[in-house]
Amino acid sequence: MEEWLSQLRTRKEIMENVTFWHTQPARPSRTTSLPEEVHPKLKLALEAKGIRELYTHQAAAFHSVTAGRHVVTVTPTASGKTLCYNLPVLQTLLHDDSARALYLFPTKALAQDQVAELQELADLMEADIKTHTYDGDTPPTVRQVIRNAGHIVVTNPDMLHSAILPHHTKWVKLFENLRYIIIDELHAYRGVFGSHVANVIRRLKRICQFYGSNPQFLCASATIRNPKQHAERLIGESVDLNDDNGAPAGEKHLIFYNPPVVNQQLGIRRSSVLESQKLAGLLLRDGIQTIVFARSRVRVEILLTYLQDLVKQELGTKSIRGYRGGYLPKLRREIERGLRSGEIRGVVSTNALELGIDIGQLQACVLNGYPGSIASTWQQSGRAGRRHGSSVTFLVASSNPLDQYLIQNPDYFLGTAPEEARIHPDNLLILLDHVKCAAYELPFEEGDKFGEEKLSDLLEFLAEEKVLHRVGSRWYWMEQGFPAHNISLRSAAQENFIIIDVTAGHKVIGEVDRFGAPTLIHEEAIYLHEGVQYQVEKLDYPEKKAYVREVNVDYFTDANLATELKVLHIDQEAQEGPLLRQYGEVTVTAKPTIFKKIRLRTHENIGSGPIHLPEEELQTSGYWFSFSEEETAKRSANDMQMALLGLANVLVHLAPLHLMCDPMDIRVVPQVKAIHNKRPTIYFYDRYPGGIGLSQRLYELHGELLKEAGRLIRGCGCLSGCPACVGPIEEVGLLGKDLALSLLDGMRVSS
């Protein structure tokens, strides 16, 4: 690896695009001896695995747990995090056969890895400790055994929500004796999903209390800015923070790579996809096992096609694989195994591989575009190079403003703490959903607490809606339904569209979530799967099925979405000079309109067609700011439109940066004449029913956000607007940049 890097330094055509090269020196390990009280059997088992000492963070976790505290451990990938919770759990189980532990992982795949590891330790200890996964794949015959006799039950929040908690009477043994609840990958529980999970945990604690147990929470997380706060919000308890990482790490190179400008006037750079492909090709050809991360499924498939093509002579196409959400579990397991064994030399993935799935140690990582957050960047680059030897990560910037901002301000990247994980468990809709589920599980009583809102108001509301029935000081579930069935923790996950290949017979090849469906698998869309092109022949919207047939064409498709926005209610507002900013509830209707056919490689537009799909309505929270009539009158309607559009283009990229949310979670819409106040307005809204607090936070960050936007536009090297700032001149006109800046200045001068 070192050799490869020193060679790289001599290649001028690459080095002239490297804007920044950061080297993180190797870090030695810091250890302490195994605590005295560790059970002799456990000691022997650990020794058999070559563990004679503990890393400092592992010891710290053990002591916190022994002292009866809830703990959250935050250390990088491959630092021996699992032992932080497995050690105290096994210690307890060896002493007390009746004790139980519940492990929660965000995905089934992670759960299975975990069971294998625990089983190995149990075997080494020759202890009768039964570890089982309990998920949708568990056969009914085994379920009963697990309920009664499993010491460690490994599951996911969805299963807990819809199968375990509503049937808690079948789990009496578990809940009466529950000592530990393990929540790994804590950082994955943010946004909507995290808000749901926080409520599932409220329900879990309620059930434990009913059966008289008071379990300790042992959490683990990748690096985020607020692990302690996040853990405390998620589990509703105060926790010990354990972040003194004692694990060693090899030398790490982080290289920022900005594709060369090919058109100075238009500010157009070479495609980041092509540049990522070039770098990954260099690595793969020299036998370096490499992971490439791309932002979208489509990107993954495009890169995969290119790379397989590039190295098929040397390596064969089977040695480069794709990996993303839509692949079926069996295929994913096969790819994970291939990566561990080294048989697969390269993988192109979405952030699906960001989580702790065991794929062994890779040497190099290429990020096609900034992953959207600092935490994700570290997490993804952590896939390359684990404990020993050097590793390299390339961050290849795309032309979007956020990428360009980061690549030109490496200090921002290195100097800023990773983002916060934000959840909003008291989002009214999410909270009500779980109050229903909780009432189904156990009646509520006057004085009970569930979340921060006034519970009795919620219960009264549900009673009026004839879902609950009040008798004296108690509220009972009185409805025929099973509430958990209609509530999905991952808003899109449950309503997946399946993709059926009808080329030869019927074969399910993948799935797409509901939000993705209108733009990814509308009829005539080109759907890419494992590098193969399919055309959607029929989309059965009510049945959630897309029928596709294999094709061989030289284009891919890209769909447009038309949105309409209405303000329902204003909760907060502030007037600053010519600017009125407001926060409140909005309704958004979205309808896909047309799709474009875009030629592969050259990316030129070669045709289009209409999309016929129903409109979707979303009621959510939003934040928006509007300009005074006086300020509006200073420019023509057309100029105003360009200025707004330019500003919105910048803000859409800056907002997720400040929120640590997926760029898909928040939307920005500029309107020259807003429906509710007839003024030029830019809207932001949360892309989840009821909102999850993102636009509320933006309302607070307003000043900072606009200042940042000004800095970005001014700092951009283009002449009159480019995709890296206000947008290309085809979109915002020749004066787009100046117009956006004058609008920004207008606000400042008057305030």
Secondary structure (DSSP) of 366-393: EEES--SSHHHHHHHHTTB--SSS-EEE
Interface with another protein (CB under 8 A), residue from 103, 293, 306, 477: 477
Piece of the chain touching another protein by CB under 8 A; list 165-173, 274-282, 344-352, 398-406: 165-173
Binding residue (CB under 8 A) for another protein from 440, 497, 625, 683: 440
Spatial separation of the C-alpha atoms in residues 548 and 699, rounded to whole Å: 44
Residue 324 vs 436, nearer CB to another protein: 436
Is 487 a binder of another protein (CB under 8 A)? no
Closest to another protein by CB, 426 or 639: 426
- Please state the closest distance from residue 566 (CB atom) to another protein, in A: 12
Phi, then psi, of 733 in degrees rounded to 5: 80, 175
Considering only 53, 240, 448, 479, the residue that binds another protein (CB under 8 A) is 479
547 binds another protein (CB under 8 A): no
Q: How far is the CB of 455 from another protein (least distance, A)?
A: 10
Q: What are phi and psi of 437, to 5 degrees?
A: -60, -45
Comparing CB distances to another protein, the nearer of 47 and 465 is 465
Number of residues that bind another protein (CB under 8 A): 42
Cα–Cα distance for residue pair 60/749, rounded to 1 Å:
54
Among the listed residues 6, 10, 313, 480, the single contact to another protein using CB under 8 A: 480
437, containing H or E segment: helix 428-441
Near another protein in 655-674, by CB under 8 A? none
Site membership for another protein, residue 337 (CB under 8 A): no
Q: Does 476 bind another protein (CB under 8 A)?
A: yes
If DSSP codes are grouped into helix, strand and coil, which group holds residue 707?
Answer: helix
Question: Shortest approach of another protein to residue 364 CB, angstroms?
Answer: 44
Alpha-carbon distance of 417 to 224, in angstroms, equals 8
The reply to whether 149 sits near another protein by the rule CB under 8 A is no
Residue 441 in the binding site for another protein (CB under 8 A): yes
Site for another protein in 493-522 (CB under 8 A): 505
Tokens of 57: 């963070």
Helices 108-125, 81-95: inter-axial angle, 10-degree rounding: 50
CA 145 to chain centre: 34
Decide if residue 454 touches another protein (CB under 8 A).
Answer: yes
Residue 439 engages another protein in binding (rule: CB under 8 A): yes
Asked if 442 touches another protein (CB under 8 A), the answer is yes
166 lies in the site for another protein, by CB under 8 A: yes
**What does the per-residue mask of binding to another protein show for 599-638, with x meaning CB under 8 A?**
--------------------x-------------------
What separation in angstroms does the CA of 453 have from each of 424, 435, 440? 12, 11, 19
Positive or negative: CA dihedral 328, 591, 643, 732: positive
> In terms of CB distance, is 161 or 383 closer to another protein?
161
Which residues from 227-266 bind another protein, rule CB under 8 A?
none
Say if residues 372 and 380 touch (Cβ distance below 8 Å): no
Of 421 and 438, the one with the shorter C-beta distance to another protein is: 438
**Under rule CB under 8 A, residue 445 binds another protein:** no
Beta strand pairing call for 268-269 and 261-263: antiparallel
To the nearest whole angstrom, how small is the minimum distance from the Cβ of residue 223 to another protein? Answer: 32
* Contact status: 145 vs another protein (CB under 8 A): no
Residue 164 vs 220, nearer CB to another protein: 164
Contact pick of 196, 470, 522, 667 for another protein (by CB under 8 A)? 470
Residue 616 Cβ, how far from another protein at the closest point, in Å? Answer: 14
Chain centroid offset of residue 347 CA: 19
Sign of the torsion formed by the C-alpha atoms of 615, 616, 619 and 622: negative
Contact pick of 328, 417, 568, 734 for another protein (by CB under 8 A): 568
175 versus 624: smaller Cβ distance to another protein: 175
Q: Under the criterion CB under 8 A, does residue 428 sit at the interface with another protein?
A: yes
The per-residue DSSP string of 493-555 comes to GGGPEEEEE-SSS-EEEEEE-TTTHHHHSSTT-EEEETTEEEEEEEEETTTTEEEEEE---SE
Under the binding rule (CB under 8 A), the answer on residue 124 touching another protein is no
Contact (CB, 8 A) for 70 and 147: no
Q: Find how far residue 253's CA is from the centre of its chain.
A: 25
* Binds another protein (CB under 8 A): choice among 4, 461, 515, 541: 461
Q: Does 478 bind another protein (CB under 8 A)?
A: yes
Q: Are 399 and 261 in contact (CB under 8 A)?
A: no
CA 549, CA 597: separation in Å to the nearest integer? 17
Which residues 6+ apart lie within 8 Å of 79 measured at CB? 55, 57, 245, 246, 247, 249
> What is the DSSP annotation of 270-305?
PPHHHHHHHHHHHHHHTT--EEEEESSHHHHHHHHH
Relative to beta strand 364-368, strand 290-294 is parallel
Least distance in angstroms from the C-beta of 190 to another protein? 22
At closest approach, how far in Å is the CB of 500 from another protein? 16
Determine if 142 is a binding residue for another protein (CB under 8 A). Answer: no
Which of the residues 571 through 590 are near another protein (CB under 8 A)? 571-572, 585
Q: Which stretch binds another protein (CB under 8 A): 276-284, 339-347, 424-432, 515-523?
A: 424-432
Options 429, 493, 532, 664; binder of another protein; rule CB under 8 A = 429
447 near another protein, rule: CB under 8 A: no
Question: How many helices (H) does the chain have, and how many strands (E)?
Answer: 25, 32
- The residues of the shown chain that bind another protein, judged by CB under 8 A, are 166-169, 172, 428-429, 432, 439-443, 453-454, 457-458, 461, 464-466, 469-474, 476-483, 505, 568-569, 571-572, 585, 619
